[in-house]
Structure 1
Amino acid sequence: MEKYDVKKAHKQLYSPPKGAFAVVEVPEFRYLAVDGKGDPNTGAAYADAVAALYGTAYTLKFASKRTLGRDFVVAPMEGLWRADDPAVFLTREKSAWEWTMMIGQPEWITQEMVVAAAGEAAAKHPNPAFEQLRLVAFTEGLCVQTLHLGSYESETPVLQRLHDHYLPHNKLTFNGDHHEIYLSDARRTAPAKLRTILRQPVKPVE
């Protein structure tokens, strides 16, 4: 049985250059998602969201293989980040951050399968985030992205270069939430070796 792996199926989107910005067109993807707010390092809501997403994602993987004969690699955790004042991302004022944490899903995963899997996972390891977990689909379209190697705290210079130099120079502006794709497991990877895709939906300046 061949496993579906979104990183291989959409290699261009999951292997951007390190230290340079690439323009990509991102099609519709479907995700398990949980919304929240606050510091991801200290907030219980963030930890609960991650636990609920992984618990449901792995339950879906096993159910798909068992009932449909279709297996897949659980996709990396991704996050959409937003704030009333975008400057708080550069100043790292994490208490003001709002987020949507997500794990991508193959196109054959249905709402009914998600409800069943979330219920099964919640019964084993209950937490409040399961009540918010949902299946969403959206298209980001035109985006600029790069691969960041290093700690999450060291992203600021890269984002400043994107916001203050690359976008204005190329007559582009923001068109959606800041998007991060976590290719490394922060629990098992040294901060200096973390691999994170930084993606920004954009549109031409009118």
Structure 2
Amino acid sequence: MDKYDHKKAHKKLFAPGAKDFSLVEVPAFNYLAVDGHGDPNVSAQYVDALAALYSVSHAAKFASKTSLGRDYVVAPLEGLWWAQDMTDFVSRDKDRWAWTMMICQPHWITTEIIEESVAKAAAKKDLPALARLRHMELVEGSCLQILHLGSYDDAGPTLDRMHNSYMPANNLSFNGKHHEIYLSDPRRTAPEKLKTILRQPVRKLRQESAPVGDPP
């Protein structure tokens, strides 16, 4: 049985360079998601969210393999991050952050499979975030992205360059929440070797039409 791999099926979206920003078109994807708020380094809410996401994602993978004969690699953890004042995000003032942690699901994973997987996960252990877990579609469209190498806390300068230099210079504005895709397991990877895709949905700003002819 061949395993479906989300990263390989959408190679262009998972292979940005680490030097220059690239513009990609991101189609609609289905996710399991849990919302929360606060510093992920010290938040029990964040730990609970990840436990629920991984437990249900692995249960859904098992159901797909046994019931549908379709096996796949569980997709990497992703996160949407924002703050009421986005300068708090660039400055890494994490207590002010809000977040949605997510794991992408193959298109054939139905709501019914998710509901069954939630029930199975709940039967195995206490998962407080299960009550906050939802199955959602995310449509981002045009996005800027770049590969960040190193500690999550060191992403500030790259985000500052994206938000305050590259986007204004290319007539782009924000069109969605900051998106991170975690390609490395922080439990097994040194901070300086972590690989994270930094993605920002964008839209072109309207340009004023140039005047035609001489003024009256």
Give the TM interval when normalised to the shorter protein. over 0.9
Paired residues for 1:122-133 under 5 Å: 122-133=122-133
* Equivalence for 2:184: 184
* Equivalence for 2:69: 69
* Equivalence for 1:29: 29
Matched residue count: 206
In structure 2, distance between residues paired with 1:44 and 1:21? 34
Paired residues for 1:1-206 under 5 Å: 1-206=1-206
What is the RMSD computed on CA atoms of the aligned residues?
A: 0.7
In structure 1, distance between residues paired with 2:122 and 2:87? 36
- Report runs of 4+ in structure 1 exceeding 4 Å deviation: none
Give unmatched runs, 5+ long, in structure 1: none
Identity rate, percent: 58
In structure 2, distance between residues paired with 1:95 and 1:75? 28
In structure 2, distance between residues paired with 1:143 and 1:154? 21
In structure 1, distance between residues paired with 2:123 and 2:195? 33
Q: Greater CA radius of gyration, 1 or 2?
A: 2
Cα drift, residue 125 of structure 1:
2.1
The CA deviation string for residues 66-121 of structure 1, in whole angstroms up to 9 with x for no partner, is 00000010000000001111111122111110000000000000011101101111
In structure 2, distance between residues paired with 1:21 and 1:122? 41
After TM superposition, the score normalised by the length of structure 1 is 0.98
Cα drift, residue 126 of structure 1:
1.3
Give unmatched runs, 5+ long, in structure 2: 207-216
Equivalent position SS for 2:27: strand
After TM superposition, the score normalised by the length of structure 2 is 0.94
